[in-house]
Amino acid sequence: MSECGRRARIIAVAGKGGTGKTVITSLLLRFLAEDGERVLAIDADPATSLPGTLGIKIKRTIGDVREEIASPSSVFFSEDMPTDMLIEYRIDEITVKTPRFSLLAMGRSEGPGCYCLVNDMLRHFIDRLSSRYSTILIDCEAGLEHLSRRTTQDVDTMLVVSDATKRGIDTAISIADLAACLHINFGQILLVLNKVTEEVRPMLDDMVKASDLTLIGMVPEDENIRAFDLEGKPLLELPEDSKAVVAVRAIYDKLMGGSHSS
Ligand SMILES: Nc1ncnc2c1ncn2[C@@H]1O[C@H](COP(=O)(O)OP(=O)(O)OP(=O)(O)O)[C@@H](O)[C@H]1O
Ligand SMILES: [Mg+2]
């Protein structure tokens, strides 16, 4: 756990659409919570799918707060409370707190109009909120749009999730390259290969080597995930010995222990 006064450790889970970012985020969240970390999970995908995967209903998002502030007919502002206090209060109010972790959803992106000022304010307060936690775990939207809009601070670890295909790994390389161009410091960028089957497993080592990316782990295709998703059951309840849970546990241990295979 981070020492008191230090800023939170930030882990972002990125990758192309449908590779398993939300699944990996949910499982990492489970282990962080089990280890007693004070975790804030941020769903940075406008589609807001992380809460459902965690079995949580979310009513309001940062997108809603942004619209409230930016609306010309806004009833947001009050003479009784300074604006900065109001915004901080509102963000705190829409943060879902469970005994194990907190969850904040970014929601939809901006509509037409200039939101720069509002975004700056929101970022400031999200950063302030972040200081209450030891770890911030971000389920990114596909691509790195929101990172380039700097809705996040510097990122300690970015996990780029890819499916187990050459095309998938090529996209992961582009995402890692793009990340390197942004004005954000990434402590480390690590590859996660997801939905790995026995069939393709032997071909992956060479592909990873050729990619120049550092692999932190592979997660097998897990029929339990499909079954849970089909029934809408929270992935936090996946059995401990489920293949993907075991694999993400190993990735988590490496992340926390700081040693990575390549
Ligand atoms: N290891 C796995 N085994 C089996 N199914 C998986 C695995 N990982 C992810 N899936 C399935 O793949 C689909 C996409 O997963 P997920 O929603 O986590 O991807 P995503 O990258 O977050 O997608 P999006 O870009 O739409 O947010 C889901 O239906 C999920 O059940
Ligand atoms: Mg997702």
List, for residues 19-34, the tens digit of each pLDDT value: 999 999 999 999 999 9
Cβ neighbours around 246 below 10 Å, total: 14
- pLDDT above 70 covers what percent of the chain? 85
Measured from CB, residues less than 6 Å from any atom of ligand 1 are 15, 17-23, 45, 49, 142, 194-195, 219, 221-222, 225-226, 229, 244
Question: Apex CA 151: angle with CA 84 and CA 176, to 5°?
Answer: 165
How many domains does one find in the chain? 1
| Closest by Cα among 22, 6, 7 to 154 | 7
Could you tell me if residue 262 is inside a domain? Answer: no
- Give CA–CA dist 81/79, Å, rounded: 6
Torsion of CA 2, 3, 8, 14, to 10 degrees: -20
Across the chain, mean pLDDT equals 87
- pTM over cut 0.75: yes
* Ligand 2 centroid – CA 49 distance (Å): 6
Could you tell me if residue 2 is inside a domain? Answer: no
Q: Which atom of ligand 1 is nearest to the CA of 243?
A: 1
Tokens of 200: 């393709």
Q: Which atom of ligand 1 is nearest to the CA of 17?
A: 25
* Ligand 1 centroid – CA 82 distance (Å): 42
Cβ neighbours around 98 below 10 Å, total: 12
Could you tell me if residue 109 is inside a domain? Answer: yes
* Ligand 1 centroid – CA 221 distance (Å): 10
Which of 43, 225, 251 has the most ligand 1 atoms within 8 A of CB, as the residue to mutate? 225
Which residues form the domain of 74? 9-257
Helix, strand or coil, per DSSP, at residue 153: coil
Could you tell me if residue 3 is inside a domain? Answer: no
Q: Hey, CA dihedral for 140, 145, 151, 156, is it positive or negative?
A: positive
Which of 22, 24, 235 has the most ligand 1 atoms within 8 A of CB, as the residue to mutate? 22
Could you tell me if residue 173 is inside a domain? Answer: yes
Could you tell me if residue 251 is inside a domain? Answer: yes
Could you tell me if residue 166 is inside a domain? Answer: yes
Average of per-residue pLDDT across 115-125: 72
Phi, psi dihedral angles at 9 (to 5 degrees): -75, 135
Could you tell me if residue 1 is inside a domain? Answer: no
CATH code assigned at 232? 3.40.50.300
* Ligand 2 centroid – CA 57 distance (Å): 16
C-alpha 35, offset from chain centre: 18
* Ligand 2 centroid – CA 184 distance (Å): 22
The per-residue pLDDT for range 130-186, each reduced to its tens digit, is: 889 999 999 998 876 666 555 556 789 999 999 999 999 999 999 988 887 777 788
Tokens of 113: 């109009």
- Give CA–CA dist 168/21, Å, rounded: 13
